[in-house]
């Protein structure tokens, strides 16, 4: 019984933390880092302000934790989509589709990663650099394999992946500005896939 009780207590704590993190994503996306307050976050999460301080000492610490978990979520989604496909065109399309899906249906998540906290959270600088490095690696991996099979032109796949990651982000940011991003999602995926295959000079079928 003690162990069961402990598990239940832990689950309740985890649930409260998850609820608060989800609320924080929305608040930061709507108000920006500077304007968002701890009271805004606990009100959105419907928890006591003491609950916030049980998990986090301040807003900046929460934001950094949120950034790390959000980055892991996005990277895992793209990586899984890519590895579930066999050919480079399929891998690129699947990875872009995963990215666009999150941008369209969970825009606050991607907005937090692309624009949230820029210049406002000094302790986030290293985390942001690490995220961009890992994102580049996700896009680079299928290019390295295609290059080893002579399916793309000789190139520095790392630099290519950096450029592609930046291009994808720009399109995603423009999707945010569209009044109906969902209606543009399929076109964005198609255009970015074709752009990528042209950029790497893909020679396969």
Q: Domain of 170: which CATH number?
A: 1.10.357.10
Detail the DSSP E strand segments found in the chain: none
Closest CA to 121 of 68, 169, 172: 68
pLDDT digits (tens, 9 = 90+) for 86-138: 999 999 999 999 999 999 988 888 888 887 766 667 778 888 889 999 999 99
Residues 6+ apart with CB under 8 A from 25: 66, 70, 108, 109, 112
| Domain assignment of residue 181, yes or no | yes
pLDDT digits (tens, 9 = 90+) for 49-82: 998 999 999 988 888 888 898 899 999 999 999 9
My answer on whether 133 and 153 are in the same domain is: yes
Domain count for the chain: 2
| Domain assignment of residue 142, yes or no | yes
| Domain assignment of residue 205, yes or no | no
Report whether 94 contacts 82 (CB < 8 A). Answer: yes
My answer on whether 128 and 44 are in the same domain is: no
Closest CA to 15 of 68, 49, 55: 55
Cα 31 to its chain centre, rounded Å, is: 19
Q: Domain of 6: which CATH number?
A: 1.10.10.60
| Domain assignment of residue 100, yes or no | yes
My answer on whether 16 and 47 are in the same domain is: yes
| Domain assignment of residue 102, yes or no | yes
My answer on whether 149 and 163 are in the same domain is: yes
My answer on whether 147 and 70 are in the same domain is: yes
| Domain assignment of residue 204, yes or no | no
State the helix-helix crossing angle for 125-148 and 157-177, rounded to 10 degrees: 120
Average pLDDT rounded to a whole number, residues 40-49: 91
Range of the domain at 11: 1-56
């Amino acid at each position: 019984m003690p162990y069961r009780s402990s598990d239940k207590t832990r689950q309740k704590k985890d649930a409260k933390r998850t609820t608060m993190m989800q609320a924080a994503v929305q608040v930061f996306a709507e108000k920006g880092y500077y304007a968002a307050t701890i009271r805004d976050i606990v009100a959105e999460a419907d928890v006591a302000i003491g609950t916030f301080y049980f998990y986090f000492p301040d807003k900046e610490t929460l934001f950094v934790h949120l950034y790390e978990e959000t980055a892991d979520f996005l990277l895992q989604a793209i990586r899984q989509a890519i590895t579930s496909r066999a050919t480079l065109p399929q891998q690129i399309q699947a990875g872009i589709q995963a990215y666009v899906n999150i941008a369209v249906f969970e825009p606050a998540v991607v907005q937090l990663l692309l624009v949230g906290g820029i210049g406002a959270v000094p302790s986030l600088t290293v985390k942001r650099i690490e995220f961009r490095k890992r994102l580049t690696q996700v896009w680079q991996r299928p290019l390295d394999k295609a290059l080893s099979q002579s399916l793309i032109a000789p190139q520095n796949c790392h630099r290519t992946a950096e450029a592609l990651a930046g291009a994808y982000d720009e399109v995603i940011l423009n999707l945010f500005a569209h009044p109906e991003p969902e209606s543009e999602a399929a076109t964005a995926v198609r255009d970015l896939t074709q752009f990528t295959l042209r950029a790497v000079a893909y020679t396969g079928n």
